[in-house]
Amino acid sequence: MIESIINESSFAYDASILEGAEFIGLIDKQGNMENIHFTNEINLTKERKEMFSMAHRLQNSMQNDFDYEFGSVHYTIIERENARFVSMPTHTGILLAKLNKSTDPFVFVSKINRISLL
């Protein structure tokens, strides 16, 4: 399970996923960020962090409205001028990672998928 990837107490935890990721966390079904690991924290106020998490949760929820027509979303890559994000829906929430600009997001997604199959 993807949730166990970011939980150090879990047997499936693999620190190699943190390579290339400045931040990794799980957004729960209410839009709250939990199980956070970071090498470089997202520089936002508490209120802005809550809005950021809820925005990702809302985006994911809205994408689910089209699962019947297009199939389920496996991951989303957001490329910004100063940041790159990867989000991956799970049964308990959304795995969200802020990647270094030099990190290939497709390699990161493959690594997460490989580890989550263990």
pLDDT, tens digit (0-9, with 9 covering 90-100), for 9-48: 443 456 677 788 888 889 998 888 887 777 766 778 888 8
Greater model confidence, 5 or 77: 77
pLDDT of residue 113: 85
pLDDT digits (tens, 9 = 90+) for 60-90: 999 999 999 999 999 999 999 988 999 999 8
pLDDT of residue 14: 62
Domains of the chain by range and CATH? Answer: 2-116 (3.30.450.30)
What gap in Å lies between CA 80 and CA 87, rounded to an integer? 14
Asked if residue 116 lies in contact with residue 13, where contact means CB atoms within 8 angstroms, the answer is no
pLDDT of residue 118: 45
Phi, psi for residue 109 in degrees, rounded to 5: -60, -45
